[in-house]
Chain A
Amino acid sequence: MTALAQATLYGLLQGGLLALVAVGFSLVWGVMNIINVAQGAFVILGAYVAWELNAALGLDPFLGMFGAAAVLFVLGYVVQRGLINLIVNAPIYLTLLLTFGLDLMLVQGMNIAFTADFRSIPTSYAGKSIALGDVRVPLGRLLAFGVAVAVTLLLVAMVNRTRTGLSIMATGMDRGAARLMGIRARHVYALTFGLSAALAGMAGAMVGTVGTFNPAAAGGYTLLSFVVAVLGGLGNMYGALVGGLVIGLVEAWAGQYLSGTWVNAFAFLALIVVLVLRPSGLVGRAFYATRVEV
């Protein structure tokens, strides 16, 4: 019983982190119909930025994540404004290829700049755990989970309450009408992509604190983003959170009752089942499948 409880807790905490990794991916796909294959590379880049800030200034990663977010925001804005905006009207899989090329460049760039060594951001507290009876709660992961939930709520609030957020939603619903209403679509798109990249950067700082990373890990995070985002419902912020938690739990439980190597298979099985039975995702609403919603 303890083992199950421990696995469940661990799975939930892991799921929160996965949600943060995937929320930007879901946002971009939902609003702009762009599949960002370089999402994993953004996450890892965020981890490196946070690592460098920690190494150079001694900055705690929970503060360094804001630095990572800022750097990634600028990168995302420039990439969208300068590159992806150029093929927005072309078939969807072209953006996929473009971001694939971007991913190649980023991963190899990081390989050259930072070498392929495995790194982790050391903190004095992330390795400790609190004991709740027989179940241990790792502190670092708990904090990362907290950040993920807080960020999701903030994002929802921003999208609902601020002008920028509303313009993002509007552009996502109907770009033409939004432009007619005076919204600068190019800027809004770039803003959305920048925001998505910033979220990925923050997630990267978290990843770097609770685990190890190197450039080759980028692909795994992209794949996870796919699964979590689609599972939850594209463009839906709560969906990303729900999707992440579900995947975290499925993997944890599968790991307990089967050999550890079946874990990934179950994650994908869950994805396919959800897609076939409820394509708009667990939380998404069918009619507004490609709309940003809360």
Chain B
Amino acid sequence: MGASSAEIRTPARTETATARPRARARWRRLLPWAAGVLVLLACFGLQTQLYTGQERTVTTIFMFVALAQAWNIIGGFAGYASFGQVVFFGIGGYSTAVVMYHLQLNFWLALVLSGLLAAAFGALIGLPLLRLKGHYFAIATLGVAEGMREVVNNVPGLTGGGAGISIPTVGPRASTPYLGNDGFYILFLLLAALAVLVGGLVSRSKFGLALRAINQDEDAAGSMGVNTTRVKVAAFTLSGFLVGLVGASYAFQQVTIFPERLFDVDITVLMVMMVVIGGSGTVLGPLLGAVGLQYVSEYLRQHYTDLHTFILGAIIIAAVVLVPQGVVTYAREATRTRDFSLLGNVRRYRL
């Protein structure tokens, strides 16, 4: 904007007048990336300061950051709230467990394979399911996740069924040494960084614009030339790929996995909660939401052993009522309009 006003006032000095604002604009665009790198380095440094128990907690936080960012791609940007995202988590986890158990494959190969399998599954079911809108899409994806869990439960020859399956980590059948708490910390940190990176790239690209257009008005987007089917399926597949990678790493970390944990609907709900409470459709929102919510639930569980679920429920209700657009979006709008009133939020959305 500075450039255009400079042009109107003194056309002869266009070169120098626009150079400074353009440089400043470029610097401002790069700032979030720089901040991201800074945070990444800080997390590496943090590792040296943590005990194993705390390390595992922070590792879980990284896991949810990655999951929340991945959900944000299909649910936040595109507005297709998928309630079965955990199906990719489970497919990723079980693919890794099955190939490492039956074929003694190396974990890193298994990781990539699992991501690809999850992505392929996403493309496969995305085509029929993404034709549905709103709540029907949500329930269809939920049905897929639950159904997949039952399928995994019922092929015990392959997956161990309800008895679970263990990745061999000691002895002759182990193909990759167990990464240990430190190793998993770094793995999940890298996955979280990857997810944030992908989220940031998607946000700033034409692809992201197309997703947002679909969110706001799909028919209008279609008539503007956006191939809505292709874009939606691509987003779903990408989201599935990321979630699959995380699921594979989780399986290796847990060593023994069970269907009801890997396809637990609670994981999807947590993903959604983190994105929504943080601020959907932003890159920072899911990040803060994941960190905040995990930290709060961990704190409550340690200090209020008997009541922690109850208090967590109350906090969620309060957060949803007072800040329905998410903390980050609220902060941005509030600082812009100088209107910090939470009750104003309530007044805006209530009946």
The segment out of A12-20, A42-50, A51-59, A258-266 that lies at the interface is A258-266
Given that A93-B276, A104-B309 are contacting pairs, would A87 and B321 also be in contact in the complex, using a CB cutoff of 8 Å?
yes
Tell me whether A101 and B150 are in contact (CB under 8 A): no
Given that A230-B139, A265-B154 are contacting pairs, would A105 and B147 also be in contact in the complex, using a CB cutoff of 8 Å?
no
Let me know if B136 is at the binding interface, CB within 8 A: yes
Tell me whether B150 and A87 are in contact (CB under 8 A): no
Q: State the CA gap A226–B277 with chains docked (Å).
A: 24
Let me know if A269 is at the binding interface, CB within 8 A: yes
CB-CB under 8 A from B140, the residues of chain A are 271-272, 275-276
The residue from A91, A259, A279 contacting B154, defined by CB atoms under 8 A apart: A259
Tell me whether A226 and B139 are in contact (CB under 8 A): yes
Tell me whether A279 and B153 are in contact (CB under 8 A): no
Tell me whether B349 and A88 are in contact (CB under 8 A): yes
Let me know if B261 is at the binding interface, CB within 8 A: no
Tell me whether A94 and B309 are in contact (CB under 8 A): no
Q: State the CA gap A108–B309 with chains docked (Å).
A: 6
Q: With both chains docked as a complex, state the minimum distance between the C-beta of A111 and any C-beta of chain B, in angstroms.
A: 8
Chain A interface residue count: which class? 35 or more
Give the size of the chain B interface in residues (CB under 8 angstroms). 48
The segment out of B59-67, B92-100, B126-134, B165-173 that lies at the interface is B126-134
Write the chain A residue with the least CB distance to B131. A276
Tell me whether A226 and B142 are in contact (CB under 8 A): yes
Q: State the CA gap A92–B81 with chains docked (Å).
A: 9
CB-CB under 8 A from B150, the residues of chain A are 261-262, 264-265, 268
The residue from B81, B162, B324 contacting A87, defined by CB atoms under 8 A apart: B324
Tell me whether A98 and B317 are in contact (CB under 8 A): yes
Q: With both chains docked as a complex, state the minimum distance between the C-beta of B4 and any C-beta of chain A, in angstroms.
A: 35
Tell me whether B346 and A93 are in contact (CB under 8 A): no
Tell me whether B142 and A112 are in contact (CB under 8 A): no
CB-CB under 8 A from A112, the residues of chain B are 306-307, 310
Let me know if A107 is at the binding interface, CB within 8 A: yes
Tell me whether B320 and A101 are in contact (CB under 8 A): yes
CB-CB under 8 A from A230, the residues of chain B are 136, 139
Tell me whether B134 and A105 are in contact (CB under 8 A): no
Tell me whether B350 and A89 are in contact (CB under 8 A): yes
Q: State the CA gap A102–B348 with chains docked (Å).
A: 22
Q: State the CA gap A97–B274 with chains docked (Å).
A: 10
Given that A108-B309, A268-B150, A279-B132 are contacting pairs, would A94 and B143 also be in contact in the complex, using a CB cutoff of 8 Å?
no
Q: With both chains docked as a complex, state the minimum distance between the C-beta of B130 and any C-beta of chain A, in angstroms.
A: 11
Let me know if A1 is at the binding interface, CB within 8 A: no
Tell me whether B144 and A101 are in contact (CB under 8 A): no
Tell me whether B313 and A103 are in contact (CB under 8 A): yes
Q: State the CA gap A98–B309 with chains docked (Å).
A: 14
CB-CB under 8 A from B8, the residues of chain A are none
- Would you list which residues of chain B between 275 and 306 have a CB under 8 Å from chain A? 276-277, 306
Tell me whether A105 and B139 are in contact (CB under 8 A): no
Tell me whether B309 and A268 are in contact (CB under 8 A): no
Q: State the CA gap A287–B66 with chains docked (Å).
A: 39
Tell me whether B132 and A261 are in contact (CB under 8 A): no
Let me know if A136 is at the binding interface, CB within 8 A: no
Write the chain B residue with the least CB distance to A29. B135
Q: With both chains docked as a complex, state the minimum distance between the C-beta of B158 and any C-beta of chain A, in angstroms.
A: 14
- Would you list which residues of chain B between 66 and 85 have a CB under 8 Å from chain A? 75, 81
Tell me whether A102 and B317 are in contact (CB under 8 A): yes
The residue from B139, B154, B324 contacting A90, defined by CB atoms under 8 A apart: B324
Contact with B along A246-274 (1 / 0, CB 8 A): 00000000000001011011001101100
Given that A29-B135, A275-B140 are contacting pairs, would A93 and B272 also be in contact in the complex, using a CB cutoff of 8 Å?
yes
Q: With both chains docked as a complex, state the minimum distance between the C-beta of B83 and any C-beta of chain A, in angstroms.
A: 8
Of A83, A112, A272, A279, most buried by chain B (CB within 10 Å of CB) is A272
Given that A98-B316, A275-B140 are contacting pairs, would A87 and B306 also be in contact in the complex, using a CB cutoff of 8 Å?
no
Q: State the CA gap A219–B265 with chains docked (Å).
A: 10
CB-CB under 8 A from B321, the residues of chain A are 83, 86-87, 98
CB-CB under 8 A from A102, the residues of chain B are 313, 317
Q: State the CA gap A105–B300 with chains docked (Å).
A: 14
Tell me whether B151 and A94 are in contact (CB under 8 A): no
Extra A-B contacts (15), CB below 8 Å, given A268-B147, A272-B147: A83-B317, A87-B320, A88-B350, A93-B138, A97-B273, A98-B316, A100-B313, A101-B320, A105-B313, A112-B307, A223-B146, A265-B154, A271-B140, A276-B131, A276-B132
Q: Which 8 pairs across A and B sit closest by C-beta, in order of nearness?
A: A104-B313, A101-B316, A265-B150, A268-B147, A105-B313, A101-B317, A108-B309, A108-B310
Interface residues of B (CB under 8 A from A): 75, 81, 128-129, 131-132, 134-136, 138-140, 142-144, 146-147, 150-151, 153-154, 161-162, 265, 269, 272-273, 276-277, 306-307, 309-310, 312-317, 320-321, 324-325, 346, 348-351
Q: Could you give 30 example pairs across A and B, Cβ below 8 Å?
A: A29-B135, A35-B138, A83-B317, A87-B321, A87-B350, A91-B324, A93-B138, A97-B277, A97-B320, A98-B321, A100-B273, A100-B316, A101-B317, A105-B310, A109-B310, A185-B351, A223-B265, A230-B139, A261-B150, A261-B153, A265-B151, A268-B146, A271-B143, A271-B147, A272-B140, A275-B132, A275-B136, A275-B143, A276-B129, A279-B132
